[in-house]
A = this chain, B = another copy of it.
Amino acid sequence: MEKLTDEEMALWQAWKLASETVRTHIAADITAATGLSDPDFGVLTRVVELSGGRMRQNRLAELMGYHRSRLSHHLARMEERGLISREAVGSGMEVVATAAGREAVALARPVHAAAVREHLIEPLRRADPSVFLAGLRELTPSK
């Protein structure tokens, strides 16, 4: 089979559009309210919420699914803006959220929750959330 059927095409188009839409809307809400980009927010929530404000750079990279290089560049920018600082620890580096960083996440958290509800959760209530979730799970092999 070479071309997608109409049905397949409809699913694909809807998927692509929805992915884009949800992603950009949520990111825009957070940026508008706090100045944090999506990566900024990702870094800070993980560092602050998952290990009390201090985390090994390597672990952070895994959690975010970033390559070491990308994270390094990004953290350098965040450091310049005063959101985090870094300390050498043994072989590697430890990322520490600064006061400004912790403040920024605190501000962003409720905005994020509201945005997720507005752009994802609420719309899905009109459909069938649990079936939808099951579908999503099929898309990500346990890997």
A positions within 8 Å CB-CB of B = 1-4, 8, 10-12, 14-15, 17-23, 65, 109-110, 113, 116-117, 119-121, 123-124, 126-129, 131-140
* A81 CB, nearest partner CB in chain B, Å: 24
CB nearest neighbor in B for A122: B138
Chain B residues positioned under 8 Å from A127 (CB to CB) = 131, 134-135, 138
**Structural contact, A123 and B138, CB atoms closer than 8 A:** yes
**Structural contact, B65 and A20, CB atoms closer than 8 A:** yes
CB nearest neighbor in B for A121: B8
Given contacts A11-B124, A11-B129, A127-B134, are A4 and B139 in contact (CB under 8 A)? no
**Structural contact, B139 and A18, CB atoms closer than 8 A:** yes
Q: Given contact pairs A17-B140, A21-B139, enumerate 6 new A-B contacts (beta carbons under 8 Å).
A: A11-B120, A11-B129, A12-B120, A22-B139, A124-B135, A131-B135
